[in-house]
Structure 1
Amino acid sequence: MARRIEHHTTSPHSAEKVFGALVDETYLRDRLASIGGNDAELMTFSSANGKTSYQLKQGVPAEHLPSIAKSLLGGDLVIQRVENWAAGAGTVEVTINGVPGRLDGSFTITDNGAGSKTTLVGEVKVSIPLMGGKLEKLIAEQVVVLLNKESEFTSEWLANRG
């Protein structure tokens, strides 16, 4: 069984500026350095003809994980993200080391009054009998926390660039 996720974040900056940040290699490196966790890395980045694709690796130390995740992973949580962006919309695929599951979703960025709204709609699926639902819930909760941190970082990053 899969768990649907829908999450919205807002920014005081226009959709165009937020999108511009999300497809900027310097921004991605700065974001990873600030909130990417252990061994964070921009593994691949390409941008051409209005389309941008990249792969990120982020880490969460085992001591920051709930006991169910610690027992399953046997160490740190390593998150691999592949994002593809074009014209204010994107897709994301997330896999986690040691977990037979993934998050697939799509992003939209729209103007919202004087700022913008970014929406993620997706699905978390973990194929582990008896524990899958608990892990899906945990992953969905952690995705929300991460998206909120990334949204705050993006707003500050853009504010510092005028």
Structure 2
Amino acid sequence: MPREFDYRSTWPYPADEVYATMTDPEYLRARLAKIGGPGAALLEHHPDGDGGVRYRLRHGLDAQDMPAALRTVLPGNITIERAESWKKQGPGRYDATVAVTIHNTPASAAGGMQLHDANPGSELLLRLDISVKVPLIGGRIEEVVVGRIGELFDLETQFTREWLEQRH
């Protein structure tokens, strides 16, 4: 049974500015260089004509950074691909679909994000359904994956906050 993961972050900047930053290829490359792990890269980036964008990122997770119990089931470094497809829904409002593939593992995640103006600033909401198809220990692995995803989004939020502050 998939495990739900919810995440929320707020910004003192309008959604249009946060969106422009979060989907900018220069920003994405810089973020991946700092927190993306081994082999991190921006694999694809395709703006559409309606203010939306699709991109695919690769993250790496060093085996040494995983709990020992998980290393026995998933030996070696982990490669994670994340595809996001953003659409402008109206003034100060954007929605995205997210699909996460964790290569050479029985784990995956999918869900969506919403970025919208809030008073003051803006708010980002994320919901993912995380699934690990391993009998008996799948739930434990899901817990670890949820924890790692939470850590990653905390790091991404901090990086984005610093990026925006440096440009103001």
What's the TM-score, normalizing by structure 1?
A: 0.95
C-alpha separation in 1, matches of 2:130 and 2:137: 13
Partner in structure 1 of residue 99 of structure 2: 93
Alignment RMSD (CA, Å)? 1.2
Instruction: Map 1:11-90 onto structure 2 (within 5 A).
Output: 11-49=11-49, 50-87=51-88, 88-90=94-96
AA in 1 matched with 2:42: L
Shift of the alpha carbon at 1:67?
1.3
Identity within the alignment, %:
34
Unaligned segments of structure 1, at least 5 residues: none
Partner in structure 2 of residue 157 of structure 1: 163
Shift of the alpha carbon at 1:112?
2.6
Larger relative contact order, structure 1 or 2 (CA cutoff 8 Å, min sep 6) = 1
AA in 2 matched with 1:78: T
Higher deviation after alignment, 55-64 or 68-77: 68-77
Output one character per residue of 1:68-87: Cα deviation in whole Å (capped at 9) or x when no partner. 22112211121110110111
Shift of the alpha carbon at 1:105?
0.9
State the secondary structure of the residue aligned to 1:37: coil
Shift of the alpha carbon at 1:5?
1.2
C-alpha separation in 2, matches of 1:151 and 1:118: 10
State the secondary structure of the residue aligned to 2:73: helix
What's the TM-score, normalizing by structure 2?
A: 0.91
Aligned length, in residue pairs: 162
Instruction: Map 1:107-146 onto structure 2 (within 5 A).
Output: 107-146=113-152
Unaligned segments of structure 2, at least 5 residues: 89-93
- Following TM superposition, the consecutive aligned residue runs of length 4 or more in structure 1 with deviations greater than 6 angstroms are none
Output one character per residue of 1:129-157: Cα deviation in whole Å (capped at 9) or x when no partner. 01111111111111111111101111111
